[in-house]
Structure formats: C-alpha cells, structure tokens
Structure 1
Amino acid sequence: MEPIDVEALSQYVGKSIGFSRWKTVTPELISQYADTINDHNKIHLDDAFAQSRGLPKAIAHGYLVVSLIPELLMELITFESGILNYGGDNLVFKKPVVAGAAIRLEAGIFEHKALRHGITKVTFDIKIYSEWEAKEELAVIFQPIFLFIKK
C-alpha cells in the first residue's frame, strides 16, 4: 500500500488506513530504552525474574512500545509539513510485549480537523498487535493526536 497524504486522511475518519510492517522488540532495544529513561526494573531485563512473576520472559516497557508508534505510523502516511505531538487519549496496555516479540500497528482515523494557519489536527485510532510464538494478540490501544503544519 502506498502511503496516504495527510490531506487525504479526512476520507478515512472511522476507517482503517492499514497495517505497518512487523518490527521486532529486541532485548537490546529494551535495554537501550531502560538506560535512556533510567528504568532498570528487572521485569524488563531479566527473564528469570519475569518468569518468577508469572510472565513467559522479560517484557518491554509499555512506553517503549508506545514510542514506536511514529516510526510505524509514518510507513502509512506521507506529508510535506512539520509534525508535532499534541497529546493522546485512551491509552490502554492490554497485554505485555515480551522481549523478542514482533509488533505492528493498525491505524485508523478518529478525527481530522483543519485548524487555522495551515494546521491540521489528526487523532488516530491505533492498535498495536504483538506476535510471539505464532500467537498474535492486541497489546496496546491508543489515540495519539498530532498537529501537521503546512510549509
């Protein structure tokens, strides 16, 4: 699927615009994220510790998974404008993403609103799916809000 121009996203309100590629959430990525935010909770870094807490292995930080949304979303849309994070609504972590799992997102448009001065506010409906051991599960739902600013 070709990326959709941000101006055309208004046609997709209430609809899916598609799925991103799969991206593996490696133990190395989790460790780098832990170092970046200084959160070294063993549940994210130590398989044996995570297993002692009823998990199959170490899990990604929830906000690490959320932080991958822009990378995966930009595969589905195209724009020649600036983009700003504006906020978000309804963030729910449905299932943990285990180290080594692959994730992908499905994006839909919840709201598309033209503001003044060439700014468009877009609220996405995001579902992030995790696949591990041949099982795909809904891991995260979120409605990130972005401002697109024309040149």
Structure 2
Amino acid sequence: MKTFQTLKELAACAGQTVATSDWIPITQEQVNQFAEATGDHQWIHVDVEKAKKGPFGGPIAHGFLTLSLLPLFFESTITVTESAMGVNYGLNKVRFIAPVPVGSRLRAHMKLLSAEPIDNSGYQMAWEITVEREGAAKPVCIAESLSRRY
C-alpha cells in the first residue's frame, strides 16, 4: 500500500508508475456472479464444458469483469490520508488485449498520467492502468481511467 498525506503529494507523482497491486485470482464463481449481475451469459464465460472445446481451451472472464476490478486495484494500492473520498469520473480509452482464463491471477500497474486541481480542493486524475496476467507475455487490459478525489 502506497500512502500519501495529501492529494497534492500524490499529484506530484504525475508521469510515474505510483503502485502495483497484489495478485488477485479470477474464479469461475466470480465469472458466474458477474454474468448474473450483468445478464451476459455467453457460453465462453459460463459453460465450462463447452468452453473447454472453444478457442481458449476453457472459460474466460468477461472483459468488463476485468475492467470492474479497477476500484479494487485502487483501494488496495493507494491511500491518501487527507482525502475524504474518490469518485469514478469515466474512461478515455479501454483495450482488452488478451483473454483472462478462469484460474488466472491478475495485478495492475497504476501510472498517474496527470493530476489537475478542481473545485472543492479536489484533483481530477488520469491514470493508465495496465492489467497483467501472471505468466503472460502481454497485458490483458490497458485502460485510461479518470477519477476525482476530494
């Protein structure tokens, strides 16, 4: 966990990789719960037997499940002592570069691209989040995430 006293201190890290998360496992239970929550029941995610005969040799996580882990990656890697809250402001660009087989472990590298002061003593921050799969040659997802912290 990387701890900063103030938002200004975090903002000074613009242009740098600020943190790397711990590895988190991707389970079939998570994939099934995500399918239930979103209504995306495509067989490549939830039908284990059929997915074994599919193009990836087994079930894979939804791309949006991978993307939905961004808040967990932030919460588990960065804290700002004098910040009351943060909110998701959106995304500029997202690419799902490689599949995430169920049973994989993922982690994220968090690079602060920019930090601009906003109203109420806050900052709008643009982050490049690179999500990697353990043992894979290339990332599974790269996203530019925007957040506001107050």
Instruction: Give TM-score, length-normalised by structure 1.
Output: 0.89
CA distance in 1, matches of 2:19, 2:137: 17
1:106 aligned to 2:109? Answer: yes
Deviation per CA, 1:5-58: give whole Å up to 9, x if none. 543222221110121000001000100111111111111012332243311210
CA distance in 1, matches of 2:3, 2:131: 19
CA distance in 1, matches of 2:110, 2:57: 28
Deviation per CA, 1:54-103: give whole Å up to 9, x if none. 11210001111111111112222113322111111110000011111000
Other-structure match for 2:61: 60
1:4 aligned to 2:4? Answer: yes
The answer on whether the counterparts of 1:47 and 1:57 sit within 8 Å (CA) in structure 2 is yes
Q: Which amino acid aligns with 1:96?
A: P
The answer on whether the counterparts of 2:19 and 2:78 sit within 8 Å (CA) in structure 1 is no
1:43 aligned to 2:44? Answer: yes
What is the CA RMSD across the aligned residues, in angstroms?
A: 1.6
CA distance in 1, matches of 2:58, 2:101: 6
Unaligned 5+ segments in structure 2 are none
1:14 aligned to 2:15? Answer: yes
Which is further off, 95-104 or 44-53? 44-53
Identity among equivalent positions (%) equals 24
Deviation at 1:114, TM superposition (A): 0.5
Change (3 A) 1:17 1:86: same
Higher strand share: 1
Q: How does 1:118-137 map to 2 (within 5 A)?
A: 118-131=121-134, 134-135=135-136, 137=138
Unaligned 5+ segments in structure 1 are none
The answer on whether the counterparts of 1:4 and 1:76 sit within 8 Å (CA) in structure 2 is no
Q: Which amino acid aligns with 2:95?
A: V
SS in 1 for 2:61: coil
Change (3 A) 1:91 1:136: same
Instruction: Give TM-score, length-normalised by structure 2.
Output: 0.90
Deviation per CA, 1:95-125: give whole Å up to 9, x if none. 0111110000000001100012212101111
Other-structure match for 1:90: 93
